[in-house]
Amino acid sequence: MSDEKQMLEDLSQQDYKWGFVTAIDADTVPPGLNEDVIRFISAQKNEPEWLLAFRLKAYAHWLTLEEPTWQKVTFPPVDYQAISYYSAPKQQKKLDSLDEVDPELLDTYEKLGIPLTEQKRLAGVAVDAVFDSVSVATTHQDKLAAMGVIFMPISEAVQKHPDLVRKYLGKVVPYTDNYYAALNSAVFTDGSFVYIPKGLKCPLELSTYFRINAENTGQFERTLIVADDASYVSYLEGCTAPKRDENQLHAAVVELFAHDDASIKYSTVQNWYPGDKDGKGGIYNFVTKRGLCAGDRSHISWTQVETGSAITWKYPSCVLKGDDSVGEFYSVALTTKHQQADTGTKMIHLGKRTRSTIVSKGISAGKADQTYRGLVKMGKGAESARNFTQCDSMLLGDRCGAHTFPYIESQNASAQVEHEATTTRIGDDQIFYCNQRGIETEDAVSMIVGGFCREVFKELPMEFAVEAQKLLSVSLEGSVG
Amino acid sequence: MLTIRNLHAAVEGKEILKGIDLEIKPGEVHAIMGPNGSGKSTLSQVLAGNGNFEVTEGEILYKGSDLGELAVEERAREGIFLAFQYPVEIPGFSNAEFLRAAVNAHRKHRGESELDAFDFADFAKRKIELLDLDPKLMTRSVNAGFSGGEKKRNECLQMTLLEPTFAILDETDSGLDIDALKIVAKGVNSLRAPDRSFLIITHYQRLLEYVVPDYVHVLAAGRIVKSGGKELALELEDKGYGWLGAEFAEAVPGGGEG
Ligand SMILES: Nc1ncnc2c1ncn2[C@@H]1O[C@H](COP(=O)(O)OP(=O)(O)OP(=O)(O)O)[C@@H](O)[C@H]1O
Ligand SMILES: [Mg+2]
């Protein structure tokens, strides 16, 4: 990430601080969750009545739910009453210097070639912002606005485009969807809102990097992307550098809505802090991501490269409602050390001739455990729908695990589902061959793994792909020896 | 260059090499022939340092020092190259990037600057032409989906790129058509120099018409049972291994009748 971008994000914190001057006495609520807290959040954000009602309904529903336990991950119970659900956006406790940061994390920054100031920002060390750089973001914002693109924090969109937000919020992921989605709907504090007008192919890749106020969206982030008829957008989420965060639990919701002939490409490179070598301090990432291909011939594509988190629980999914709509899921998930991941996707085919492709590449090393869980559902109306699933696991060493659970439900005899799965180990013969050419074992491993992931990497925007490859190499260091 | 003394090696507890002695001087080309399963590839793997093979007795000196001290990649960077009998595939990883990584590992070891993708492409171009290789092979994954002959040529390309001091070719000529065979020979001959040596494992004397060896050895049941000049290869081609009679029978029980 460039200095400029970094400065922007620092600046955005400044901004927020000033913005909240009046609320300074009440910028955090005590830990715990109840209706009053939700009313407080809503009031702080000056939200319209309907949004408060949405939050309260979600909360009431959440109370009736139990934390899911079906996923193949284990962790100590989360105390939801110990979390503080609102603090003024500058919520990360700042450290005074890099000396207070986990040395292993710093080592990783070093290897990824991240500049010092950027390292500080990521690790949560206070940095001064430079004011000039606001112009860069503004330029992008102006360009986008001129084209009719709306790209802003969702809390701002609630104020400026209430009707649009109201029309789509919760339509793809209703608050009743699952435990974490209900919680998110009740207490989300911020996130991004994107609207692409009819017929527009958005020429910029939208990334939170150049969205002002991108930082500190907190643990309950909410993203909503709407692509109107025949529009196109590519959205990038995340950052290759591991992020340290005070908040252990992250329960984001991402909703994508594609109208007729619209196309949304959503790419994520996520590298949350997995915890120290004993797995302490890592992030729990329980996110609900879903895209609705509402319109005919619409297209939604999820690409993700996940290497972080202590625990990951996510299933970016597509509901293929429009006829001839297309859903894609390309995923690389790497788990090392003590990480646990239960990921996969759901492709729900409702419309005629809908097509979906799933390519999942899982890599496990160390004592990590990884599960792929995929559901392909062919509804009654899914005439001649097709799915192709390719699910490959690679194991490094013999103390890690990989599990595959493909679920197929078909209510339409004309629909076709194809599933291929492989499990490989990095071969000694492959490493020996590389070594014989003078190549170090660690480099050999990253070549072999990189080759294994190529089908997914090529779906990523170019520079993201390069970063992802580098990230993988760094994450794999010391995994084979 | 290379001195092998009383080398015994085992795989999975089974002794395969049973006392090999061999002296290869700088500039020499040695050929090794011998029946299937006699231990030729085992010898080549042991020289390259494959950990699956255990040296149980004897020693290998390379440029005067104990080869056993060096890791596989160190041996490689010190100039030992093995063209594999069965080249390994790395699906999804570009051949060009692989070759560049190999070349750069060697350059780094010699204290030279690493080549970027463009410099490497220029460097590789001449060698690709020399070996009459389809440039498309560079953009494909390492050996994945290559035909048998393409794999062998790719080994040969790697050899010419890395310019080893001691190259072992394990049946690099097997499965090649006659034109490809000449190309491999060209690759070897282009490298021949007073300070470079070759160990060529082959079943056919055909390659040896183009790359003329100084010595030919017969390996049988883990021992070198006969050594001679280049005429020995012709004789073997003509008569098979049976005529080796007494010596051969001693190494391979029942081999005398074959
Ligand atoms: N990894 C291994 N595990 C078990 N046995 C092995 C292994 N590698 C080689 N061997 C055995 O060692 C013996 C010698 O094998 P090697 O490959 O060295 O023969 P070779 O002379 O190269 O034969 P060919 O002419 O067929 O290539 C054979 O009996 C073979 O089965
Ligand atoms: Mg052999």
What does the pLDDT look like over A300-334, one tens digit per residue? 999 998 876 667 778 899 999 999 999 999 999 88
d(CA A316, CA A304): 9
What ipTM does the predicted assembly reach? 0.94
Chain A contact set for B52 (CB, 8 A)? 428
Helix (H/G/I), strand (E/B), else coil: A463: helix
Whose C-alpha lies nearest to ligand 1, atom 26?
B36
Nearest to A447 among B71, B84, B93 (CB): B93
- Please state, in angstroms and rounded to a whole number, the distance separating the CA atoms of residues A49 and A142: 31
Is residue A399 a contact partner of residue A368, using CB atoms and an 8 Å limit?
Answer: no
CA separation, residue A475 to residues A191, A289, A366, B97, B198 (Å): 28, 25, 11, 20, 40
Q: Give the residue numbers in A contacting B (CB under 8 Å), as ranges.
A: 427-430, 432-441, 443, 447-448, 450-455
Least confident of A116-125, A231-240, A248-257, B1-10: A116-125
Q: CA A114, CA B60: separation in Å to the nearest integer?
A: 46
User: Above 80 in pLDDT, residue B247?
Assistant: no
Ligand approaching nearest to the C-alpha of B52: 1
CB atoms near residue B48 (< 10 Å): 22
* Band of pLDDT at residue B92, cut at 50, 70 and 90: very high
B75–chain A nearest CA distance, Å: 8
- CA–centroid distance, B44 to ligand 2, in Å, is 9
More confident residue, A343 or A38: A38
**Interchain contact, A451 vs B88, CB within 8 Å:** no
Q: Is pLDDT at A25 greater than 50 in this prediction?
A: no
Cβ within 8 Å, pair B92-A433: no
Query: pLDDT category, A132, cuts 50, 70, 90?
Result: very low
Check residue A133 and give its pLDDT. Answer: 35
Domain residue spans of chain B: 2-251
A248 or A369: which leads in pLDDT: A369
- Ligand 1 contact, B86 CB (< 6 A): no
Which distant-in-sequence residues (6+ apart) come within 8 Å of B102 by Cβ? A434, A437, A438, A439, B158, B161, B162
More confident residue, A151 or A87: A151
The pLDDT score that the predictor gives to residue A84 is 72
The Cα–Cα gap between A456 and B103 comes to 28
Q: Would the CB atoms of B73 and A433 count as touching at under 8 Å?
A: no
| pLDDT value of position A281 | 64
**Contact at CB, B90 and A454, closer than 8 angstroms:** no
**From CA B84, how far away is CA B97, in angstroms rounded?**
19
pLDDT of residue B205: 85
Question: Is B235 in CB contact (< 8 Å) with chain A?
Answer: no
The segment with the largest mean pLDDT, out of A93-97, A159-163, B132-136, is A159-163
Averaged pLDDT for residues A30-36: 85
Give the CATH architecture of domain B2-251: 3-Layer(aba) Sandwich (3.40)
For the residues A333-340, what does the mean pLDDT come to? 78
pLDDT tens digits, A279-294: 566 677 788 999 999 9
Whole-angstrom Cα distance, residue A27 to residue A216?
14
Number of A/B CB contacts below 8 angstroms equals 78
Range with lowest mean pLDDT among A15-19, A301-305, A376-380, B63-67: A15-19
Neighbours of A356 (CB within 10 A): 26
With a cut of 70, say whether residue B4 has pLDDT above it: yes
Other beta carbons within 10 Å of B229? 12
Range of lowest pLDDT (A19-33, A63-77, A83-97, B232-246): A19-33
The residues with which A293 forms a beta bridge, in sequence order, are: A258, A320
Alpha-carbon distances of A258 from A72, A170, A300, A461, rounded to whole Å: 32, 14, 7, 20
Is the Cβ–Cβ distance between B109 and A438 less than 8 Å?
yes
Place A27 in a pLDDT band, splitting at 50, 70 and 90.
low
- Per-residue burial over A366-388, b if 16 or more Cβ lie within 10 Å, else e, is bbbbbbbbbbbbbbeebbebbbe
Q: Structure tokens of B43?
A: 């010898």
Helix (H, G, I), strand (E, B) or coil at A10: helix
Beta bridge partners of B217: B32, B227
Looking up tokens 């609102």 gives A86
Mean pLDDT across the stretch B38-46? Answer: 96
Distance B225 CA to ligand 1 centre (A): 18
Residue A464: pLDDT over 80:
no
What the block records as the tokens of B136 is 């498309």
* B50, closest residue in chain A (CA to CA): A432
Q: Return the higher-pLDDT residue of A197 and A133.
A: A197
User: CB-side exposure of A186: number of CA atoms within 13 Å?
Assistant: 24
Q: What is the mean pLDDT of residues A399-420?
A: 89
Residues of A in contact with B73 (CB under 8 A): 435-436, 438-441
Q: Residue A136's pLDDT is what?
A: 47
> Does A108 have pLDDT greater than 70?
no
Flag the least confident range among A29-33, B12-16, B25-29, B232-236.
Answer: A29-33
Ligand nearest to the CA of B84: 2
Name the average pLDDT for chain A. Answer: 79
Between vectors from CA B48 to CA A366 and to CA B15, what angle results, nearest 5°?
90
Over its C-alpha atoms, chain A yields an Rg (Å, rounded) of 22
Q: Which residue has the tokens 């890099």?
A: A98
Region B7-20 average pLDDT: 95
**Rounded to an integer, what distance in angstroms lies between the CA atom of residue B210 and that of residue A78?**
74
Q: Give, for ligand 1, the residue of B20, B38, B47, B203 to mutate: max count of ligand atoms closer than 8 Å to Cβ.
A: B38
Q: What is the pLDDT of residue A227?
A: 98
Residue B105 contacts residue A439 (beta carbons within 8 Å): yes
Total Cβ atoms within 10 A of residue B221: 19
**Parallel/antiparallel/unpaired status of strands B197-201 and B166-170:** parallel
pLDDT value of position A270: 74
Which atom of ligand 1 is the closest one to the Cα of B43? 18
Q: What is the mean pLDDT of residues A200-216?
A: 63
Q: Which of A49-53, A138-142, A477-481, B254-258 shows the highest mean pLDDT?
A: A49-53
Q: Which tops the pLDDT comparison, A422 or B257?
A: A422
**What is the share, in percent, of chain A residues with pLDDT greater than 70?**
73
Alpha-carbon distance values, B165 to B24, B68, B75, B80, B235 (Å): 12, 18, 11, 6, 30
Which stretches of A198-262 are assigned E, i.e. beta strand?
Answer: 206-207, 222-227, 232-243, 249-250, 253-258
Pick from A173, A285, A296, A159: which is nearest to A225 by CA? A173
Sheet with B53-62: list strands edge to edge. Answer: B14-24, B2-11, B53-62, B65-66
The helix/strand/coil state of A460 is coil
Mean pLDDT of chain B: 91
Chain A positions in Cβ-Cβ contact with residue B88 (cut-off 8 Å): 427, 429-430, 432-433
Closest CA to A415 of A329, A478, A352, A373: A352
**CA-based nearest distance A260→chain B, Å:** 35
A172, A300 contact by CB (below 8 A): no
- CB-CB under 8 Å, A453 with B92: yes
Give the CA count within 13 Å in the CB-facing half-sphere of A301: 19
3-state secondary structure chain B: CEEEEEEEEEECCEEEEEEEEEEECCCCEEEEECCCCCCHHHHHHHHHCCCCEEEEEEEEEECCEEHHHCCHHHHHHCCEEEECCCCCCEEEEEHHHHHHHHHHHHHHHCCCCCCCHHHHHHHHHHHHHHCCCCCHHHHCEECCCCCHHHHHHHHHHHHHHHCCCEEEEECCCCCCCHHHHHHHHHHHHHHCCCCCEEEEECCCCHHHHHCCCCEEEEEECCEEEEEECCHHHHHHHHHCCHHHHHHHHHHCCCHHHC
Q: Which amino acid is at A50?
A: W
pLDDT in tens, A181-198: 999 999 998 788 999 999
Distance from CA of A425 to the nearest CA of B (A): 12
How many whole angstroms from A468 Cα to the centroid of ligand 2?
A: 40
What does the alpha-carbon distance between residue B134 and residue B129 come to, in Å, rounded to a whole number? 8
The answer on pLDDT for A91 being more than 70 is: no
Which listed ligand is nearest to B43 at the C-alpha?
1
Q: How far is CA A150 from the centre of its chain?
A: 20
pLDDT of A361 over the 70 cut = yes
Minimum CA–CA partner of B155 in chain A = A437
Query: Does the structure show a pLDDT above 80 at A12?
Result: no
Tell me the residue type at A209: Y
Average pLDDT over residues B176-182: 87
Q: Is the pLDDT of residue B258 over 50?
A: no
> Residue A146 corresponds to which tokens in the numbers above?
């001129």
Chain A nearest-CA residue for B89: A430
Q: Do A430 and B72 touch (CB under 8 A)?
A: no
Residues 6+ apart with CB under 8 A from A281: A102, A244, A248, A273, A275, A310
Confidence of residue A21 (pLDDT cuts 50, 70, 90): very low
Cα-to-centroid distance, B85 and ligand 2 (Å): 6
State if residue B38 touches ligand 1 by the CB under 6 angstroms criterion.
yes
CA distances from A238 to A15, A206, A214, A263, A358 (A): 22, 11, 11, 20, 21
**From CA B151, how far away is CA B159, in angstroms rounded?**
13
Side-chain-facing half-sphere of A11: CA atoms under 13 Å: 19
Per residue in A112-121, pLDDT (tens digit) is 655 565 565 5
| Joined tokens for residue B188 | 């070897």
Provide the pLDDT for residue B55.
Answer: 96
Is B11 near ligand 1, meaning CB less than 6 Å away?
Answer: yes
- Would you say the CB of residue B13 lies under 6 angstroms from ligand 1? no
Average pLDDT over residues A201-210: 75
Pairing of strands A416-425, A386-395: parallel
Q: What is the mean pLDDT of residues A388-392?
A: 93
Cα A350 from Cα B119, distance rounded (Å):
53
**Phi, psi (rounded to 5 degrees) for A250:** -120, 125
Q: How far is Cα A254 from Cα A291, in angstroms, rounded to an integer?
A: 8
Section A187-210 average pLDDT: 85
Collapsing DSSP to helix, strand or coil, A180 comes out as: helix
pLDDT of the residue at B254: 46
Give chain A's largest Cα–Cα span. 69
